[in-house]
Amino acid sequence: MEKASPFTAFIHRFSKQIISNRSGKFCFCCSAWIFLCWFFPLTQIVSLGVEILLAFFRWAQLARPLELFQFHLWLIAKNRLPTQVSLLSYGRIDHALCAFCNVTPDSIDHLFFDCHVSATIAYFWASRCHIPWRNRPWVNNLAWAMKLLLGKDFYYSIARFSFGAIYHLIWKKRNSLIFRGEMLEISAMKNHIIKVVRENTLTFTNVLDNTRNMRLQRSWGLDPSIFSNALSA
Ligand SMILES: [Zn+2]
């Protein structure tokens, strides 16, 4: 039997740990999009038709956070995000600068997390999870996460989920800045991450009240009721 790659294992764990009733597999739309991204350059996907893109974005509106984060990490891993560097290389645009720092065209490495703005978000995430962090190229970040965030317990589930959340938020905010002219508010980005993490832990109960989990609960401001029945069961 073929052994799963570390990244597949990471994504699989990502999908299975947070919400217990998930199958851990991609839905049809997500799988189809990944299939397209795997086999075709972005320019060819665009040429397949606006309908496909619209169908995908309709799905994205309905998908739950976990699926979006999971899918987004796949796109990054496959170098399929239409970053400015990518579009410049295809000749689709003539000039662009990172929407966060306005210093250099954005790329995957710049967005995650060479840019000082996204680096601020990464350090914020790391401090909330009590994880030592230093900025590395994207590939090294992924290798680091696959090595250190693969645990099965509550702590690693939240660390992994929030790790995916910051990638998705940075890309989403980057698009809002470029295409909708939104203002950059780092504090709002941090608050958004906190909100997403809190909302996705509402259904947790029976979390072991060890020191690490309690530190995590306090740092993210999670509902203390997640520890209910932990010792009485
Ligand atoms: Zn930047």
Cα of 51 to ligand 1 centre, how many Å? 32
The count of domains in the chain is 1
**Is residue 167 situated within a structural domain?**
yes
Per residue in 197-215, pLDDT tens? 999 888 888 899 999 999 9
Instruction: Tell me, in angstroms, the distance from the centre of ligand 1 to residue 183's CA.
Output: 15
Residue 58: inside a domain:
no
Range of the domain at 90: 6-27+63-227
pTM: 0.74
Domain contains 145: yes
In a domain, 219, yes or no: yes
Residue 172 lies in a domain: yes
Residue 152 lies in a domain: yes
DSSP assignments along the chain, one per residue: -PPPPHHHHHHHHHHHHSSTT--SS--HHHHHHHHHHHHS-HHHHHHT-HHHHHHHHHHHHHS-HHHHHHHHHHHHHTT-S--HHHHHHHTS-S----TTTSSS---HHIIIIISHHHHHHHHHHHHHHT-------HHHHHHHHHHHS---SHHHHHHHHHHHHHHHHHHHHHHHHHHS-PPP-HHHHHHHHHHHHHHTTTT--S----HHHHHHHHHHT--GGGGTTTTT-
Q: If pLDDT is split at 50, 70 and 90, which confidence band does 6 have? A: low
41 found inside a domain: no
Q: Per-residue pLDDT tens for 91-147?
A: 999 999 999 999 999 999 999 999 999 999 999 999 999 999 888 888 888 888 888
Distance 72 CA to ligand 1 centre (A): 19
Note whether residue 1 is domain-resident. Answer: no
Higher pLDDT, 58 or 19: 58
